[in-house]
Amino acid sequence: MNKTNTENRYVRILSTGVHLEGILSVPDDAKGLVVFEWLDLQPFAQGLKRGLFGSSTGAAGALMTAAELPQKVAAIVSRGGRPDLAGSALPKVQAPTLLIVGGNDEEVIHLNEKALAQMQPGQEKKMMIVPGASHLFEEPGTLEYVARLATNWFQTHLSPVNVR
């Protein structure tokens, strides 16, 4: 098994008067970061591509952020998301976007298909349906499958040279 050296940083994020404290773990061989907000002020994050991951309504937030800040978002993954809630921001999204939906989540599949159709022609976008998964991916192995899909998408699109 490969071991990766990871630097843990204690961080404090101030947002609308609320302080959020946490630990940000960054592997030595990091090619990018997958988080919302705050990174522009951090010296260790300079030069790393950014990816956004959103689930449920957070997917719409990720897509709206990418539409507003296209130069700062290199890839997006939505898990069981509601990208349709991004509305008029969808055609403005330039980042490669992966929509992951549970195969048993028929309503959300339909909403994701509609959102995908509203995104720019020629933009790299893809929807993956996880067979046998419900909206929350609670079935055995489904969340792990989602994690692999998301990891592969981010590794491809956050690498210094995209490998396709």
Identify the weakest region by mean pLDDT among 27-41, 67-81, 136-150.
Answer: 27-41
What's the pLDDT score for residue 119?
A: 96
Question: CA torsion angle for 136, 103, 85, 69 (degrees, to 10)?
Answer: 90
What is the value of pTM for the model shown? 0.79
CB neighbours of 26 closer than 8 A, spacing ≥ 6?
6, 7, 9, 33, 44
Does pLDDT of 35 surpass 70? no
State whether CATH 1.10.10.10 applies to domain 29-158. no
Cα(140)–Cα(107) distance, rounded to whole angstroms? Answer: 22
Using 50, 70 and 90 to split pLDDT, how confident is the model at 1? very low
For residue 48, pLDDT over 90 is answered with no
pLDDT digits (tens, 9 = 90+) for 98-120: 999 999 999 999 999 999 999 99
CA distance 33 to 26: 8
